[in-house]
Structure 1
């Protein structure tokens, strides 16, 4: 580490001549700290330079994949579609290799394109270590949607200003300069921004989650004001909740019940909300004789009392009971193309999200895909079906990405370059073949042996398993 290279103050060695330092203790300490600060600044400069290298490599990788789209996509596609699928495929390749979310990778690719093709001054400052990547992102955001002349002006001015200010300050400067040079009015820009309003759900730890609303600022202010007023009316001297807890409860009940709860009605209103959810509940937990956690579709493990409460209060939810010993459920194998409702629900809870590496789109918004195509003899069964979002569904069929179904719902993906990635189901729900007994399915049930595929890369020899297939798997 760089800090290890900073030499501490030299201490005199016994028997050696002592050199008197006429500086004050403050100046000596100041100089010592200055060395550490210089080292930190140098580390930041090197990091910025390294980030500029990453920008160039990402941009070059995408350009290369698009130029070689014929090798990575199906020949049945149009030229434009092949370029699109090649870009999607290399995005997935980079995301899995770098172990980051695909949405994050898409942003990095877009940012790399902006820096390499539209913002030469900003890229040069990043390469020189004069600005951080955070500064570069501010400039990218500030220049999005501008014409060539406007973008060139902001690129030059902001890349210089960024060398002396923090990203937050640069953002304020960029906003002011952008407003000065843009032809559109604030009302027009606001109308465009308003079209991007949305609600987002973000899971958090310990059975909690965040709910984000991106909406008109005036609406947000009015909502906060109403929550404050209702919370003040509902406050009671004997109420043990803090103001923050009370506001959170009020906002929750207003959204769930559409009725502002006051006084005793506060708790009654909360009790009237009946969610529609998919919950996996161990039988003994539901009966109250065990405290094994339940599983909430789209979130994950939940406390047993929460699982029991949802089971009692959600009349239209799908409740999946698991065996108290081995957790297996009955097989839902079918021989028709379209999966029946019971199999669909079971798979939705098993997968929870798209099964492509790194994708977190909820299963309810995904397609059920036959791993081995139905047209080629693939069965409509639990061990040949998995959820894929529309984008990754197309990627599987129209690019060199391929997948095979292993035991217990495990999927093994092979990328453009032959790298292998494994995804596992969100919920462990093994299925017994129809008519089979547990002893037939698990002959060594009494031992520590598991029912996992003993060969994680298939039956091919190791050298073949690690190489790229000779022909694309479309």
Structure 2
């Protein structure tokens, strides 16, 4: 009886003033009501986030951005300015991404949506603030109508908003597109043109050693591409390929891109990196346990023996790099196949023929010039692998090697002062005011935005001490063992 009264009392509190009653005390009807309350609150929070995004945009005018035609100015053929954010700094999406700890693309998407609600769908924005329309349906309206005029968007909104909560997401999108086409066919063509301009190709980790490659194409082109892949896959299946048809399609898709026989393009060059820990190459107990331990000739001979046993060789037209790390994943040295063989055979010059502990390989030395050496390029690429800006996944092959402490301000050209930044974030660091970058000797990078938010990225292989579970001890294993 007391529990029932408590639940009823909590349930009657205003939505925004209650976190919710204990779920184990709720019946089915109360669970449904609680879920509806959460939906309303999520809508309100989405509207609040949109207001905050718009406020940040107001606080970041473009007065300090590099003017067109000056050093550092953005190429208009590379990335166009969103018309919704005319007068706003081009670096605003990066600061927003830093604040919400998500990628730049997500930040741009949310900023555009917020601007569409405010400028073109005011009634939808009000309904969102009140929790009367959920964020998914409000997002559908913004997505369909963002490229139309404010007057046309309001006309569609007026017709659809009353019934929007009762329509599925797909039905709402169809109704909005149909109404838009009926009211203004030119607007539909403009929307399609904007979609073509925004087309891209993306790759995402799919787990289990797999990745998903996606591309935005006109519908007829996409259908034609799939038809070619499917036809070739079925031909291979008919010829006796025993793999599932989906696996054959995926293999043919890859082959068509990597080996375009009639395009005049060469095949893709493979750059292979093999990573080994120093303690795994130690000659005796405790090898590699000291931070920054030297890499000896004996350890390189052990690595060379493993390479021979595995049959590893440099790919045709590509590279083979050996990366040696300490037990925490901190990169100590990178070696080409030739360097590995030469150093393993040559040994220590100070103690020829002896098994000493002198280092024969390590981090490339600093250079007095502005441009990094080839060995520094290889070391930094192997350590960082991608752009080091938080939430940026641009691979190292498309990144610049940036001086964390600028060279013009006394920063040395050394691996402990170099990191990979894609061209976009390299420009941000150089030309956007208020950003701070600091790097630790192990490659850990700390980035602080003008808003005062600090995010940290670490080299992909670097492990935090104490971050994992304690080592397994058989004596601690409880029965039945």
Give the TM-score range, shorter chain.
0.5 to 0.7
Matches for 1:286-301 after TM superposition, within 5 Å: none
Matches for 1:80-95 after TM superposition, within 5 Å: 87=89, 91-95=93-97
Residue number in structure 2 paired with 1:315: 316
Residue number in structure 1 paired with 2:100: 98
State whether residues 180 and 188 of structure 2, in contact with CA within 8 Å, keep that contact through their aligned partners in structure 1: no
Aligned partner of residue 204 in structure 1, secondary structure: strand
- Structure number with greater CO (CA < 8 Å, separation at least 6) is 1
- CA drift of 1:119 comes to 1.7
Residue number in structure 2 paired with 1:276: 269
- CA drift of 1:206 comes to 1.5
Q: 1:328 aligns with which of 329, 332, 348?
A: 332
- CA drift of 1:186 comes to 5.9
Query: Aligned partners of 1:422 and 1:414: how far apart in 2?
Result: 9
Query: Aligned partners of 2:153 and 2:87: how far apart in 1?
Result: 29
1:394–1:189 distance in 2 versus 1, CA, 3 Å: closer
Residue number in structure 2 paired with 1:52: 47
1:86–1:403 distance in 2 versus 1, CA, 3 Å: farther
Residue number in structure 2 paired with 1:173: 175
Does structure 1 residue 356 correspond to structure 2 residue 389? yes
Query: Aligned partners of 1:195 and 1:134: how far apart in 2?
Result: 24
Aligned partner of residue 380 in structure 1, secondary structure: coil
- CA drift of 1:401 comes to 0.8
Query: Aligned partners of 1:378 and 1:359: how far apart in 2?
Result: 24
1:61-102: CA deviation from partner (whole Å, max 9, x where unpaired): 3323449x78x999xx99x99x99974555444433332223
Query: Aligned partners of 2:45 and 2:247: how far apart in 1?
Result: 44
Aligned partner of residue 409 in structure 1, secondary structure: coil
- CA drift of 1:118 comes to 2.8
1:390–1:233 distance in 2 versus 1, CA, 3 Å: closer
Residue number in structure 1 paired with 2:443: 409
Residue number in structure 2 paired with 1:346: 379
- Which runs of 5 or more structure 2 residues have no equivalent in the other structure? 1-18, 75-84, 279-305, 334-361, 467-481
1:86–1:368 distance in 2 versus 1, CA, 3 Å: farther
Does structure 1 residue 4 correspond to structure 2 residue 4? no
- CA drift of 1:124 comes to 0.8
Query: Aligned partners of 1:366 and 1:237: how far apart in 2?
Result: 44
TM-score, structure 1 as length reference = 0.68
1:176-233: CA deviation from partner (whole Å, max 9, x where unpaired): 1111122418667545544444322222211111111221222222222222222222
1:214–1:312 distance in 2 versus 1, CA, 3 Å: farther
1:31-68: CA deviation from partner (whole Å, max 9, x where unpaired): x533332332222112212221222122223323449x
- CA drift of 1:380 comes to 1.5
Matches for 1:180-191 after TM superposition, within 5 Å: 180-184=182-186, 190=192
1:153–1:312 distance in 2 versus 1, CA, 3 Å: farther
TM-score, structure 2 as length reference = 0.67
Query: Aligned partners of 1:254 and 1:73: how far apart in 2?
Result: 42
Query: Aligned partners of 2:131 and 2:252: how far apart in 1?
Result: 48
1:115-166: CA deviation from partner (whole Å, max 9, x where unpaired): 2233211101111212111112211121122123212212322332322112
Aligned partner of residue 235 in structure 1, secondary structure: helix
How big is the alpha-carbon RMSD for the aligned residues of Structure 1 and Structure 2? 3.9
Aligned partner of residue 419 in structure 2, secondary structure: strand
Aligned partner of residue 338 in structure 1, secondary structure: coil
1:190–1:95 distance in 2 versus 1, CA, 3 Å: closer
Matches for 1:143-292 after TM superposition, within 5 Å: 143-184=145-186, 190=192, 193-235=195-237, 239-258=241-260, 275-282=268-275
Residue number in structure 2 paired with 1:288: none
1:248–1:233 distance in 2 versus 1, CA, 3 Å: same
Aligned partner of residue 392 in structure 1, secondary structure: helix
- Which runs of 5 or more structure 1 residues have no equivalent in the other structure? 9-31, 261-272, 286-303, 430-447, 450-474
Aligned partner of residue 186 in structure 2, secondary structure: coil
State whether residues 85 and 395 of structure 1, in contact with CA within 8 Å, keep that contact through their aligned partners in structure 2: no
Residue number in structure 2 paired with 1:298: none
1:193–1:73 distance in 2 versus 1, CA, 3 Å: closer
Does structure 1 residue 42 correspond to structure 2 residue 26? no
Q: 1:393 aligns with which of 409, 419, 426?
A: 426
Query: Aligned partners of 1:183 and 1:237: how far apart in 2?
Result: 48
Aligned partner of residue 328 in structure 1, secondary structure: strand
Matches for 1:114-133 after TM superposition, within 5 Å: 114-133=116-135
Does structure 1 residue 422 correspond to structure 2 residue 451? no
Count, aligned residues: 370
- CA drift of 1:328 comes to 2.1
Aligned partner of residue 160 in structure 2, secondary structure: helix
Query: Aligned partners of 2:101 and 2:190: how far apart in 1?
Result: 39
Matches for 1:3-42 after TM superposition, within 5 Å: 4=22, 33-42=28-37
1:126–1:372 distance in 2 versus 1, CA, 3 Å: same
1:187–1:371 distance in 2 versus 1, CA, 3 Å: closer
